[in-house]
Amino acid sequence: MTTEEADRPVALVTGSTSGIGEAVARRLAQDGMRVVVHSRRSTAAGEALAAELGGLYVRADLESEDEARGLAGTALERCGRLDVLVNNAGISRPIPHADLAAATPADWRRLLEVNLIAPWILCTAALPALRRAPGGGSIVNITSHAGVRPKGSSVPYAASKAALNHVTRLLAAALGPEVRVNAVAPGLVDTPMTKDWAEAHELWRERAPMHRPAQPADVAGLVASLVAGSYLTGEVIVLDGGLNLT
Ligand code: NAD
């Protein structure tokens, strides 16, 4: 590692080979950070993006506690520091809210494992390094408007995101002033996850004051502001193009 590389703040962005995570990785690299790109499977895409951004790639399945812990450890070992953690990786499975039997305990466990417990493990593993970050550490959790209002692809998904919103506030209160913790709670974002959600796309085009879903770069811009904001902590910012006003 060159001295110049060692001086750059390091950001770990989970689930960063597609959608919101990729846009966040690109934006933080543009802002001068060394980015650790992560994915569960797409190794070739991850290595290509890391090479393009001058960062590095680590593969880990966040359903495994060991691999989640290992991701933070490997990032730290290979970069020597960790300044920013963006918990972006997440899963969703559309299940009608009134069909209680369709949301099985297995669905609950898997959604909570990836969307809530994995971010917790990563926060825990990254904390000592974030506390040492020269400009202060920053955690940004990508949650959902479904964690703020009674909406979303399924009840367990919405509950996992509501819990992560509350964890955001609890950790902000517990970890300041060394580490700031904030969340972005997007409405509909145009990503691989939502490509077949025709009804939601129509809703946003017709009813949201912005008359479109967010693009991943819209979310990335807000994440970059939260990372740069030296006094902002404990905020859950709904980014839904104003749909909540209607
Ligand atoms: P996406 O499917 O493009 O990205 C999700 C990422 O998470 C992928 O890279 C995937 O590989 C990774 N991931 C999933 N399970 C994993 C596992 N077990 N181990 C490691 N990585 C895993 O979708 P996206 O829309 O970019 O979603 C990013 C985040 O934004 C998610 O947390 C999602 O819940 C949240 N979100 C998305 C929207 C939207 O409308 N797209 C709205 C609100 C919140």
**What does the pLDDT read at residue 6?**
78
Three-state SS sequence of 54-91: CCEEEECCCCCHHHHHHHHHHHHHHHCCCCEEEECCCC
What CATH number should be reported for the domain whose range is 3-245? 3.40.50.720
∠19-22-28 over CA atoms, to 5°? 135
**What does the pLDDT read at residue 1?**
66
Burial class (CB in 10 A: 0-12, 13-18, 19+), 230: exposed
Which of these is catalytic: 24, 119, 157, 219? 157
Is the distance from the beta carbon of residue 147 to the nearest atom of ligand 1 less than 6 Å?
no
**What does the pLDDT read at residue 79?**
96
- Which tokens sit at 221? 């811009």
Q: Report d(CA 161, CA 236) in Å as an integer.
A: 11
**What does the pLDDT read at residue 5?**
73
Among 189, 212, 215, name the best residue to mutate to test ligand 1's pocket (greatest count of ligand atoms within 8 A of Cβ).
189
Residue where the block lists tokens 């390091």: 10
**What does the pLDDT read at residue 7?**
86
Q: Report d(CA 43, CA 234) in Å as an integer.
A: 34
**What does the pLDDT read at residue 179?**
98
Among 67, 88, 107, name the best residue to mutate to test ligand 1's pocket (greatest count of ligand atoms within 8 A of Cβ).
88
**What does the pLDDT read at residue 193?**
86
pTM: 0.97
Per-residue pLDDT of the chain (246 residues; tens, 9 = 90+): 677 777 899 999 999 999 999 999 999 999 999 999 999 999 999 999 999 999 999 999 999 999 999 999 999 999 999 999 999 999 999 999 999 999 999 999 999 999 999 999 999 999 999 999 999 999 999 999 999 999 999 999 999 999 999 999 999 999 999 999 999 999 999 998 899 999 999 999 999 999 999 999 999 999 999 999 999 999 999 999 999 999
User: Where do the domains of the chain lie?
Assistant: 3-245
Decide if 231 is catalytic. no
